Amino acid sequence: MKIDAFHYVQLGTAYRGLQPVPDEEVIDLYGGTQHIPLYQMSGFYGKGPSIKQFMDIFSLPEMALLSCVVDHFLGHSLEFDQAHLYKDVTDAIRDVHVKGLMYQWIEQDMEKYILRGDETFAVLSRLVAHGKQLFLITNSPFSFVDKGMRHMVGPDWRQLFDVVIVQADKPSFFTDRRKPFRKLDEKGSLQWDRITRLEKGKIYRQGNLFDFLRLTEWRGPRVLYFGDHLYSDLADLMLRHGWRTGAIIPELEREIRIINTEQYMHSLTWQQALTGLLERMQTYQDAESRQVLAAWVKERQELRCITKALFNPQFGSIFRTFHNPTYFSRRLVRFSDLYMASLSCLLNYRVDFTFYPRRMPLQHEAPLWMDQLCTGCMKTPFLGDMAHIR
pLDDT digits (tens, 9 = 90+) for 354-374: 999 888 777 777 654 444 444
- Whether 227 is in a domain gets the answer no
Does residue 83 surpass a pLDDT of 60?
Answer: yes
The total number of structural domains that make up the chain: 3
pLDDT band for position 167 (cuts 50, 70, 90)? very high
Does residue 70 surpass a pLDDT of 80?
Answer: yes
- Report how far residue 169's alpha carbon sits from residue 34's, in angstroms, rounded to the nearest whole number: 37
Q: Which of 218, 237, 259 is a domain's end point? A: 218
Average pLDDT over residues 317-333: 92
- Whether 38 is in a domain gets the answer yes
Asked whether residue 147 falls in the same domain as residue 72, the answer is no
AA identity, residue 304: R
Q: Which of 88, 106, 124 is a domain's end point? A: 106
What Cα–Cα distance (Å) separates residue 116 from each residue in 249, 258, 331?
Answer: 14, 22, 26
Q: Which of 232, 230, 225, 231 is nearest to 246 (CA)?
A: 225
| Whole-number pLDDT of residue 2 | 93
| Whole-number pLDDT of residue 346 | 94
| Whole-number pLDDT of residue 366 | 62
Over residues 104-124, the pLDDT tens digits come to 999 999 989 888 788 999 999
- Whether 246 is in a domain gets the answer no
| Whole-number pLDDT of residue 74 | 95
Asked whether residue 339 falls in the same domain as residue 261, the answer is yes
Does residue 383 surpass a pLDDT of 80?
Answer: no
- Whether 204 is in a domain gets the answer yes
Asked whether residue 256 falls in the same domain as residue 350, the answer is yes
- Report how far residue 46's alpha carbon sits from residue 52's, in angstroms, rounded to the nearest whole number: 6
Report for 113-127, 200-214, 227-241: range of highest mean pLDDT: 200-214
pLDDT band for position 148 (cuts 50, 70, 90)? very high
- Who wins on pLDDT, 114 or 390? 114
Does residue 300 surpass a pLDDT of 50?
Answer: yes
Asked whether residue 98 falls in the same domain as residue 115, the answer is no
Q: Which letter does DSSP use for residue 259 in this model?
A: H
Give the CATH number, domain containing residue 203. Answer: 3.40.50.1000
- Report how far residue 374's alpha carbon sits from residue 376's, in angstroms, rounded to the nearest whole number: 6
- Who wins on pLDDT, 354 or 98? 354
Does residue 284 surpass a pLDDT of 90?
Answer: no
- Whether 300 is in a domain gets the answer yes
Q: What is the mean pLDDT of the chain?
A: 88
Asked whether residue 54 falls in the same domain as residue 130, the answer is no
- Whether 240 is in a domain gets the answer no
Average pLDDT over residues 206-228: 94
Asked whether residue 145 falls in the same domain as residue 159, the answer is yes
- Report how far residue 364's alpha carbon sits from residue 161's, in angstroms, rounded to the nearest whole number: 48
Does residue 386 surpass a pLDDT of 50?
Answer: no
- Whether 379 is in a domain gets the answer no
Q: Which of 106, 140, 175 is a domain's end point? A: 106
Asked whether residue 121 falls in the same domain as residue 85, the answer is no
Average pLDDT over residues 266-280: 90
Over residues 248-268, the pLDDT tens digits come to 999 999 999 999 999 999 999
Q: Identify the domain containing residue 82 by its residue range.
A: 15-106
Which of 33-37, 275-279, 380-384 has the weakest average pLDDT?
Answer: 380-384
Does residue 378 surpass a pLDDT of 70?
Answer: no
Q: Is 228 annotated as a binding residue?
A: yes
- Whether 92 is in a domain gets the answer yes
